Structure formats: C-alpha cells, structure tokens
Amino acid sequence: MKTDISRGTAPDRRSFIALAGAAAAGALVVRSSTTAHAQGATDGMDALEVMHRDLDRALAKPVEERDWGMVIDTRKCIGCHACEVACIAENTLPPGVAYRRVPELEVGAYPDVQRVFMPSNCFQCDNPPCQGAAPEGAITKRPDGIVEFDYAQLTDPAVVQAVTEACPYKAVSHDEGGAWTDGTPAPQPYETLDAPEYGVEWDRAEGGLPAGAARKCHFCVHRLETGRLPACVTTCLGRAMYFGDFNDPTSTVSRLADSEPGLRVSESLGAQPRILHLADDPATCQACHQ
Amino acid sequence: MNNRTDTSSNGEPPHGVSRREFVGQGAMLGGCALLLNRVACMQGDLARDAAGAFSDAEAARLAESGETIYSVCLQCHTACPIKARVYDGILGKIEGSAYSPQNMLVHLDYETPLADAARIDAKLCPKGQSGIQSLYDPYRIRSVLKRAGRRGENRWASIPFDQAIREIARGGRLFSGVAGEEDREVPGLADHYVLSDPAVAGELASDASAVASGELTIEEFKTRHADHLDLLIDPDHPDLGPKNNRFVFLAGRIEHGRKEFSQRWLRDGFGSRNWFEHTSICEQSHHIAYQQMTHQWNGSGWGGGRTHMKPDALNAEFVLYIGTSPFEANFGPPIMAEKITEGIATGRLKIAVADPRLSKTASKAWKWLPVKPGTDGALALGLTRWIIENDRFDRPFLEAANKAAASAAGEVSWTDASWLVEIADDGPAGYLRADAAGVGSAEQFVAVAGGRPVAVDPADGEDAVTGDLRYEGQVGGRRVKTAFQLLWEECSSRTLAQWSDICGIPVADIEEVASELTAHGKKASVELYRGPVQHTNGYATAQALIGLNMLIGNIDWTGGLMKGGSHWHEMGDRRPGPFNMGELHPGKNRNFGVKLNREGSRYDASTVFDGYPAQRPWYPFTSNVYQEVLPSAAAGYPYQVGAVFMHKATPGMSVPTANSQIAAMADLDAVPLLLSCDIVIGESSMYADYIFPDLSVWERWATPHITPDCPTVVSKVRQPIVAPIPEIVTVFGERMPISMEAMMLALAEELGLPGYGPGGFGEGGDFTRPEDYHLRLVANLAAGDSEGDEVPAADADEMELFVRSRRHLPPEVFDAARWEAAVGSDWWPHVVHLLNRGGRYENFDGAYRGDKVAHQHKSMIRFYVETVALARDSMTGERFAGIGKHLPILDSIGREVPDAEYPLITVTYKEIFGGHSRTPGNYWITQIAPENAVWMNRATAGEMGLQAGQEVRVSSASNPDGRWELGNGQTRDVVGRLKLVQGIRPDVVAVSWHYGHWAYGAEDVEIDGDVVPGDPRRGTGLCTNSVLRADPHLGDVCLTDPIGGSSSFYDTRVKVTATAG
C-alpha cells in the first residue's frame, strides 16, 4: 500500500524557481535551497517580484515586441481555486462566466490513488480555432499575442455557441446577464464595479456589454498595462502560475520553457497555444489530451 | 454613493423601515447602479497607453491614489494580512499583503516604500478573496432584532439600540407579547451584577479556596462573610463563586484584540468568570498536549508552555502530516502550501500524509497512509517502536537532562527522557524528587548517570547532567523508571504487526515511514493538528505524536520543529508604556469560582465532590470546552445560569451532537436570557432573544496573532476599510456603528461597570469608543517589546497618505484628531506608520540563525507529564496516563462505544473554499462547488448497492433518524448526494463541513411583519454534526477527550442509506 507520485521525475531536476530568479534578476536569486534559507541571506525575493521585473522589461518595449505567455506548473497546483475567485473578482465576472477553471481528476485505485488538478484558461492560441467560428474581425490577435474578443460582434446566440464549441480548451463562457445577488433582498455594490477589458470601461451594470456576449480570459491585459501580473498568477498559493514575455530569453517563462519538459495541451490540433504546462510525466498527460 | 448616510443616525427608531432597507444597505444601492470605474480609481487620470511602459512615477501614483488599506482577513483563523482596494468607497478587491510572510515567500522588507509595495498583489486563498461577499452580504442585519415569536421561530421586531440595552440590563416581562411568555419575568444583567467591590471579591475568593482545600470550614466561612453570602451562587459551595458567574460569554470566531476587549468587560468589569471561546471544536487537545509537554519547572510547579509548534517546512527534507491538510486547512494554506510545493518540485522535500481521505495534500505525497480514524496513536507508537528498536533516535539530544547538557551537545532544548518517574502500585506517578533519592532537594529531579542517581535542576546552565535512557530499578527505596523507559514499554506493549492491525497501515509502510523520518537528521518532523486529536483519545495521541519529534531531536533546528517567530505584545506589559492595559483599569473587578463547564478546576478539590462519577465531567487541564457550556446550563450543573451572550458563536450548528445544543438554546429555563451579536441571522442566533448587528471584519479592529508556521515575528492589525453597514448609535455621548464593542460599551454605561467612560483608563484617558481601546493596543505594538524596538515614525507624506486613503470613511469611524488623541501625539506617527502597513513584520533575514531557527523554544519538552498522571478522571475516578498512549474510543465513564450495527466511520474535513459556518453567502465559491457530498469508497458503495449521485441519509446510534431537530416542529434531514471515489478508506465516509445551512439567509425569516425570503443557494448540501455521537452516559453532549477537552468529530459510526427519493 503506497502511493508514489515521484515517478517520472528526473533525479537531476533543477530548481526552476532558482533558475528563473537567477536568470531574470542576476544576483537577485530566489532562495529555494535549504542552505540559503538557513543562512538567512538577504538577497532573496518572491517569484512575483522576479516576474514583476520581467514585466517592467517587457513594458519598456513596443507592444509588438512583447510575446505574452504562461507556464503552469501542475506539479505545484494544490487545487485551491484561489485563481478562479481572483479572476472573478478582478474582472467582475457574473455567474456562469469562468475565465479560469481548475478541473480535477482522480486516477488509480485504492490505495494507489492520485488527484490531478488541471488549471487552465484561454490559451491565447496563435492559430485560434475560435476565430474561424466568429464573424470576420470579431476575434483578433493583438500584437502581444493576446486573443481579443470584440464583444459587440459576439452577442448573437448562434455565434456565441459556435465560438464556444470551436474552442478545444473549453475556455469560452456565455455572459447571460445575471448578477450574483439576483434573488436576494438587495443587489450589492461590488457587482456594479466596471470590468476594464480590452481598454474599454464596460457599463455592464446597466445591462450593456459584455452582458450577452461570449467572454474569455485576456491575460488581465488591463493589469499588464499598469505594470501588474494577471490575477491568477499573483494569487496562486502553490506558485504554480508563471507569466511573462516569451520574447525575452531571460524572463522566467522563457527559462522555464527552455529547461523543463513542458506540455502544449492538445498541440496536435494545431491551435498553437501560448500556455505551457509542466507535469511530472507530460507523456501521461498528453495521452489524455489526444 | 451615499451608503453611509442612511444609518438612522438621528437616533430615531428604525421602525417602519422596509424589509429591503432593513436587511442590507444594498437596497439603497440598487437604484443607483453606479458605474464604478476601477481603472480611473486605480490610475486617476492616467491615460491608458497600450504601447507605454508603466513608469516609476505612475507606479507611485498608483500607490498614492488613496484607495488602498492594509488590514487582516478572518474568513478563517489563519487571518492573512490583506491589501484592500477601495473604489469610490466600495471594497472592490482583496489581495494578500506583500509585507506579510503569510502571503509572500519571501515577503517585502518592512521598510519597503508603500509606493513600491502597492503594485505587488500577494497570494490569498479563495475564501479571503470572497470576503467582499461576506461584507456585502444581502442578508446582513443593520439594527437590533428582538424576538417576536418563540425561540427559533424566526419572527423578529427591529427595535432601537438604546431600548435593547435597557431591557437587557434591567430585565422584566420582556416578551409579554409572545404566547406563553406573557408573565415570564426575565432577570436582567443587573440582577447578576451583584459583586462589584474588588476588595470583598478578593476576600471571598481567597476564603472560598480555603474551604475547597479543607483549610477553612464552611461554618467559619459563613460566619466570616455573613454580610456577603447573598452575593454567592450557593453559600454552601462558595467555590462556585459569585452570582456574577450566572452571566456567560460564549464566543465562536474571536481573536486577539477582541478577546482582550471582551475579557476586560466580562471578567474585569462585570466580574464573571464564564468567558469561553470555541477551541475544543477545533484542535484543543493538540494545543493542550503541546502545552503540557512544554510546561517548564518554575522551582515549585509546572507552568508556561507553548500550545503550538510547526515544522520548518521551508528547510525540511521530510514531513509526516498526521490528519491535517496544509493545502486545505490547518493554519493555514497561504503560508504553508508554497513551502511544500516548492520543496517537492525541487526535490528538497518528501512528505507523507496519514489521513483516511486522500486530501489534496496527500495527493502530492510520497506516501499516503489511509489510517483508520482514532488510531493515530497506534501509528505513532508503531513508528516509535521501530525507531527505538533500530536505534534511530537522537541519543545525545535525549541524554541531555538539563540546559547545560543540552548546550554541551549543541542543542538549545532538552527533554526528560532520562528523568526518573516513581512507579506506584497503580502505575507511573510523579517524577522522583532529589530529596527522596538522597541526592538533593525537593525542588530537584533525578537522573541516573553511570549507575548513580544525580540531582537534576532543569534550568541549570552550568553543571551538565547526562542521564541513562533505559534505567529501571530502585532509588531511595522507591521503584523507578526513566521517562524513556516508560515510552519504550508503551510502544513495545504491542508488536509492530499489532500496531499495524489497529491503525490499518501495513507494517512495511510503518517501517518505511519510520526509516524516512529518521534519515534526515534534524531536517524532518511530524505535524499534527485537528485530525488525530478530535477524538476521545486526542490528548494521549497528541503526546505520542509529538514524542516522535523529540526522538529525532528536531526542536529549534532549521528544517525541524519550531515555535515560530510569534508576535509583539499588544497589552503593553513588556516595557514601560505606552499603555499597560491590565493596569489601566480603575475599580477593576475580581472574578472567581468554578466555571460553568468546570474547565480548569479539579472535581476532587471542590466542595461539590460527591464520589465518582461526577454528575458531569470536570476538565482540570484544558480550557474553552465549548460543547459543554450549553448542556451544563441546561442541566443546571454546577449552577443555573441567568444569561448567555453568544458572540459570532454557532454552537447549534458547529458542535457535534448539535441537536442538544439547539435544545438548550431553545429552553427558556436553561437560559432565561439569550443574547447574540453577529452579522447575519445564523443557525444559532436565530434562537436568541436579541440579535445585535456586528461589524464584519472589513469594518473593524483587532490584533490577530500569527501562526507558528511563520519563522519571523509578526503583529497584524485589522482596521476599518470601508464605511460600516450597521446603524449608527450613541454611547457615552459618542456616535458609533453597532458592534460587539458598542454593545459592551453601552451595557457598561448602563450597568456602571468599572473601567469605562470618561477616565475609564484612569490616568490613561477616556474609554468611550471602541478605538480608544484598539488604538492603544496598536500603539503598544508600534512601541514594541523593549526600548529601541519602536517602528519608525511616519513622515509627512505617509501621514498625508494615511488620512487621504481613509477619506471615504465617515466620522463615526475615522476621525484623525480623535485617533491621535487616543494614543497621544508622540506615538501617533509611529501608529500611522504601522497602520499604513496593516501591522509590523520582522524582515525575512531574521528567520534563521546558523543551523537553528532564530526564534527558539530553547527550554524543556517532556515525554512524561506528571501533573496529568497524578490527576483523576472526574467520571471514572481512575488516574490519567502521563505518557503518550493509544487508547480506544471511550465514553465519559470509560466504556467502549461499539455501535456495531453502524458499519462505517464518518469524518469531516474542510475544503479550502469553505469556512465552517460563515461562507454560504460567498456566491463566487458556489460556482466552484454548489453543494457538498457524502464521499464513499467506490467498492464500499458496490457492496452496499449504492450509486454515484444517489441521495443518501447519514444516521448514527444517537441520531438514528439522521435529522436536525430545530425546535417548533421543524426538522432538516441529514441527506446529501453520494460521491464515489477511490481516495478514501473503504470503512470511512467523509462529508465536508461548511454546507447544510437552514439559516444564514438560506430560509425565510419574518422581520416587522415582512417576510425576507431565503436564498436556496445558501442551503444546499448537508452538515453531519447533528449525527455525531452523543456520549452514551450523558446523552446530551458529544463524546469528549477528558484531558484535552476536544469534542469528538471522527469517532462516530454511521449508516449511509438510500432515501426514498
């Protein structure tokens, strides 16, 4: 009776946190080694700080030279759902709309069992399948790689359905116009906060867009442009989430992509997703997604 | 946004307000539907420039937009420091604070400018982020509600605050309009506030104690105190204390700041001893085991001690988690999770998890040990046996018998492993004293070194004593054994195969885990919390588990077991000034007597003693035995109560065998006056006579303490973030929102309690507002624990930012001049510096010192607890054990509880997105999991013919119908959907504990004749607490650990049956 989930991990696997930190910040290394912590060195910083520096470098470049992407280390996802709630709060999402999901799967038989958490959001594909299902110009690629939805063109129920079904990653939701406090004695003020998506201050509280539209993750582009990381990244309790500029070889995400055996989910579909998943055994994961 | 103007601030009674106005502020907001521009709030007029970088100047502007307040969450007791973003007065987003080691690894240095910290949003769990929905809960109450029907009928009248205070203080025919209560005279608090002269109280207390110990006869007592006998509950039993004890305060989720505030009021003001919180329904036996094992010898007795230690998971190479899931609960996920995931991902750390259910933590473990509930002690002793038999313990550490020997061995802590224990006819008794051995004094102990007894003075730092571990024999004519020998005898009382049979973990796994635990030197540990101790054997089990840490000698070592950085001291008793709160209390009352639940008192040392068993159990070694308070009131043992004040407490839902708690609340004779203070009408407050609205944690003050999982020093400060939702009232001539504090101040004013009002702090100033108290605690934290330990003073920019970021707060909450006056102008800039960061935090570089943690236990920790060993169980009359043990599950009179016709054992657990009783209104979470389920092993369901998704009922021997009995003919079935998994023991079913509500907005209530409809989303799923086993002897309370006081959550055998539907 034992459950060994360490299979598939190479004994020489390096600390990617230390790696990322060292790469991004030179001498400013995130301490992950026992010795460094024990010695109480003063040069350590949280991975968030390192990624903020990555972000600053990217924002100093023209938008077309940025190449936003994510690395999700599923080994460190604890299934806490903090990212889902952070996303809802950040984007004032109504009921039924989820930009971010962490489905769970149980594998094995008692007592050799494992629970697998599979965090995902819009993969911001370079060849987005949703694009072809929408009217011309409704779904576009921004120069920095983000797939942008033009809500005004994405309200026709048939279009919403087509776009939703076209996404192989189930990343698109339909905003049906509801509010969390529907059916309670009093609507509440947090629901009237605007959601500044794609540079527009939407007036959804009055029933306007994006109510009725197809919606999905945009890497918190409003946060990026004010120098802040996406909400799912900052709040991740297990530090499974990494974000940055793949066009910067010294960024955390580039280093992780170069050094770790990552998985592009359902890569064979040709969507060219911009999210890399790390796993103990990518081949096993891949098998489920083919 | 005019949400803070409609607050009945003119003192007019809120009669006639509509239901929608009454229940939430949202009614006012609904018509506004303001578009709140978050970008504008964050950036001011900063133009969006997709191509532009975010400059330093812009970052600074973001920080200085005046919309950020650092405070502290309380969606669970972990109490994470938060950064709250306020938009046009509305709390719009809650993040973790980057200054906080609970939320950043590594956290920002304390002196990081606010502008630099502003853009870093640190991590926070989903409950914490959903706090917005607890604050803006449409079912929040704003005015005082008075019962207009029978208890629990949920018919209410809103009444003026002043009227409620007057009625509660004075009593009378308060419910003459309720059928059956026309003539019921309700005693007011003034009827119980009879002893107010501290000098008289002191004499009574001292002589009552002398009567109990036999030094004074009851006749002598009565003669001496003839003038004051009417002040006592029972002049024949003066050790029960004064009538003041008839007023009971029962707190659920209360934390520091409010604990001290309410204790000043109840104990030192009103003079009642009966202040309780809820720890026995959490993990109390774990705390008591740590505390007893770390009690220090003070020359004449044992005292002090630490109630909680934690693995240094940041540097550990192996941790064995027993019945606790740091990814979901414990204390708590934001600080605990990343240290583990990072360690596992980099290969530094390996973990094993013992839990009957495959928790999320177990799913990342090297080894999952699906232990049978209630047998963790057997697992511990199996591990202990292997470690001792294979000589894998840290011998030099254990041989050190005192401080000097520890120093010589490179250690800072030491144990009693080599100390001699006397073996009496009925088993191990006290430690042998050096005078009895002829080697020293009665204040010294004895070890054997090289065959000769030697005196041990534990704190002696000069003369090292190194003792033999496995000695047994005769010393001074007495039969003795070392503590280590007793441990060996206990663990070798069964073979490894027998321990394996008991706990359900194969021998090979026990061996492998024991080997791993002892393969990393000091960089390994065993962590326990709620799971192994919420059993009748919890204390003894905890002692056995903690002993594993002692065997590997990991105390105070990096990667080992640590006490944590702890906190600065807010009560001002560590340095001269600014405010020694205990002393700033003119006329301070004195409380004494046996507490209602008999915690902290010995039955055989009381005048109530009348042989065994006692009428109900006494709990000399623990405190906050929550489950026993209301049943004791119902039984009138040891005395009748007059009034119970439930603060954020929900015994009717959160206590095992909950139906009897509900019955006690509904019983007018048991509790003639039942008060409640909470933010929503909950499952217990619905039985109250009066409900006072409370401030939510985002509107108020506190000084929560830090988990020992944090290696650095932390003092957190909760402070108002947004305008209050409860109505504004006037107390001591001051306008303030209704809250626990306002209620206590108003009752202090009405009753004339000492230490309140003008001059309430004596020379320390007036006490007329909540923040008069809380700000003084903050000033004490800003001052630190010694001269030179002060936080810096805020500079002019920070002073200005402080005021500007609170510009949305109404004067009833924030008045800079008033706040400054409370702490004095000298301390004010220091207080502002601290409040601007929501507390004070030692920098990360203070965590470690060489190969040890910087903040050390550096004292004794013991395998054997003589005080426990020498005490008798008040029910069985038997002595307790002094050494860690595995005990069967027993009822209060020592009988096993077989319940053989119920085939499964039920356990509860917590999802990280649910907080016991208080998150049903967090709708964001309901999207993740709209309801909970009954988790069962797929094979078990197959054998029982049950299907996934089927509706099933959970029942037990003490609740064979599987029902909640809610009074007034109302019931709720303990019924839910079946979820079939592989990751659970086949003989166990698990139900998460935060669903199954019948109040808290889940069902309709009537206020002022209008029905407020419930929201069915809030009532989904099931809660099994009513099914959990009643003690067969007592009948009206759950099974309980007689030493640690923990209520049993995991010992109930149940049936799971398909419902007709």
Segment A223-233, tens digit of pLDDT: 998 899 999 99
What is the percent of chain B where pLDDT is above 70? 94
The per-residue pLDDT of chain B, averaged, comes to: 93
Note whether ipTM > 0.90 here.
Answer: yes
Query: pLDDT tens across B678-724, in order?
Result: 999 999 999 999 999 999 999 999 999 999 999 999 999 999 999 99
pLDDT of residue B916: 80
Reference A122, options A150, A149, A100, A144; nearest CA is A100
Beta-strand relationship, B673-678 and B690-693: parallel
Locate tokens 């539209």: which residue? A213
Q: What is the pTM of this model?
A: 0.93
Q: How far is B470 from chain A (nearest CA, A)?
A: 34
Torsion of CA B670, B675, B678, B683, to 10 degrees: 30
Chain B residues within 8 A of A6 when measuring between CB atoms: 350, 366
Question: Bigger pLDDT: B418 or B41?
Answer: B418
A278 CB-near residues (< 8 Å, 6+ apart)? A71, A72, A73, A74, A75, A256, A260, A261, A262, A263
pLDDT of residue B14: 32
The phi, psi pair for B354, rounded to 5°, reads -100, 115
- Average the pLDDT over B998-1021 and give the result: 97
pLDDT of residue B49: 30
Note the residue count of chain B.
Answer: 1061
Residue A161 has pLDDT above 60, yes or no: yes
Read off the pLDDT band of B26 (50, 70, 90). Answer: very low
Chain B from 499 to 518: CB within 8 A of any A CB: 505-506, 509, 512
Closest partner CB to A180 (pick from B334, B923, B1013): B923
- Average the pLDDT over B821-839 and give the result: 98
- Average the pLDDT over B867-893 and give the result: 98
Give the best residue of A33, A81, A202 to mutate against chain B (max B CB count within 10 A).
Answer: A81
Collapsed DSSP state (helix, strand, coil) of residue A193:
strand
Give CA separation, B461 vs B379, B401, B406, B708, in Å.
36, 11, 9, 27
- Average the pLDDT over B893-902 and give the result: 97
pLDDT of residue B3: 29
Distance CA B973, CA B954 (A): 9
Residue B11 has pLDDT above 50, yes or no: no
Chain B from 127 to 186: CB within 8 A of any A CB: 129-130, 132-133, 136-139
Does residue B1016 have a cis bond before it (omega within 30 degrees)?
Answer: no
pLDDT of residue A40: 29
pLDDT of residue B821: 97
Closest partner CB to A88 (pick from B23, B506, B924): B924
Chain B residues within 8 A of A190 when measuring between CB atoms: 90-92, 132-133, 136
- Average the pLDDT over A156-163 and give the result: 98
pLDDT of residue B780: 98
Query: pLDDT tens across B505-527, in order?
Result: 999 999 999 999 999 999 999 99
Q: Is residue B886 a contact partner of residue B372, using CB atoms and an 8 Å limit?
A: no
B501 CB-near residues (< 8 Å, 6+ apart)? none
pLDDT of residue A205: 78
pLDDT of residue A79: 97
Determine the Cα angle at B563 with ends B561 and B565, to 5°.
125
Residue B31 has pLDDT above 80, yes or no: no
Q: Which residues pair with B357 in a beta bridge?
A: B984
Judged by CB atoms closer than 8 Å, whether chains meet at B52 and A59 is answered as: yes
The per-residue pLDDT of chain A, averaged, comes to: 84
pLDDT of residue B24: 34
Read off the pLDDT band of B52 (50, 70, 90). Answer: very low
Q: Is residue B108 a contact partner of residue B114, using CB atoms and an 8 Å limit?
A: no
Closest partner CB to A45 (pick from B106, B847, B982): B106
Does residue B311 have a cis bond before it (omega within 30 degrees)?
Answer: no
A15 reaches B (C-beta below 8 A): yes
Reference B676, options B702, B654, B650; nearest CA is B650
pLDDT of residue B59: 45
Question: Bigger pLDDT: B669 or B87?
Answer: B669
pLDDT of residue B1061: 64
Chain A residues within 8 A of B59 when measuring between CB atoms: 227
Distance CA B425, CA B300 (A): 25
Query: pLDDT tens across B114-141, in order?
Result: 988 988 999 999 999 999 999 999 999 9
Does residue A111 have a cis bond before it (omega within 30 degrees)?
Answer: yes
Judged by CB atoms closer than 8 Å, whether chains meet at A190 and B133 is answered as: yes
Judged by CB atoms closer than 8 Å, whether chains meet at A85 and B928 is answered as: yes
Chain A residues within 8 A of B315 when measuring between CB atoms: 34, 37-38
DSSP letter for B400, please.
B
Residue B2 has pLDDT above 80, yes or no: no
- Note the Cα A225 to chain centre separation in Å: 16
Chain B from 995 to 1024: CB within 8 A of any A CB: 1001, 1012-1013, 1015, 1017
pLDDT of residue A290: 65
pLDDT of residue B694: 98
DSSP letter for B307, please.
S
Torsion of CA B219, B224, B228, B233, to 10 degrees: -30
Give the best residue of A181, A259, A260 to mutate against chain B (max B CB count within 10 A).
Answer: A181
A182 reaches B (C-beta below 8 A): no
The phi, psi pair for A107, rounded to 5°, reads -125, 150
Residue B1055 has pLDDT above 60, yes or no: yes
Residue A34 has pLDDT above 50, yes or no: no
DSSP letter for B269, please.
I
Read off the pLDDT band of A194 (50, 70, 90). Answer: confident
Residue B27 has pLDDT above 60, yes or no: no
Q: Which residues pair with B456 in a beta bridge?
A: B445
Query: pLDDT tens across B666-685, in order?
Result: 999 999 999 999 999 999 99
In the structure encoding, which two tokens stand for residue B978, read together?
């079946």
Judged by CB atoms closer than 8 Å, whether chains meet at A235 and B94 is answered as: no
Collapsed DSSP state (helix, strand, coil) of residue A148:
strand
pLDDT of residue B895: 98
Residue A27 has pLDDT above 90, yes or no: no
Q: How far is B939 from chain A (nearest CA, A)?
A: 9
Query: pLDDT tens across A72-127, in order?
Result: 999 999 999 999 999 999 999 999 999 999 999 999 999 999 999 999 999 999 99
Q: How far is B1012 from chain A (nearest CA, A)?
A: 7
Read off the pLDDT band of B606 (50, 70, 90). Answer: very high
What is the percent of chain A where pLDDT is above 70? 85
Chain A from 183 to 202: CB within 8 A of any B CB: 183-190, 192-196, 199, 201
Give the best residue of B338, B353, B712, B909 to mutate against chain A (max A CB count within 10 A).
Answer: B338
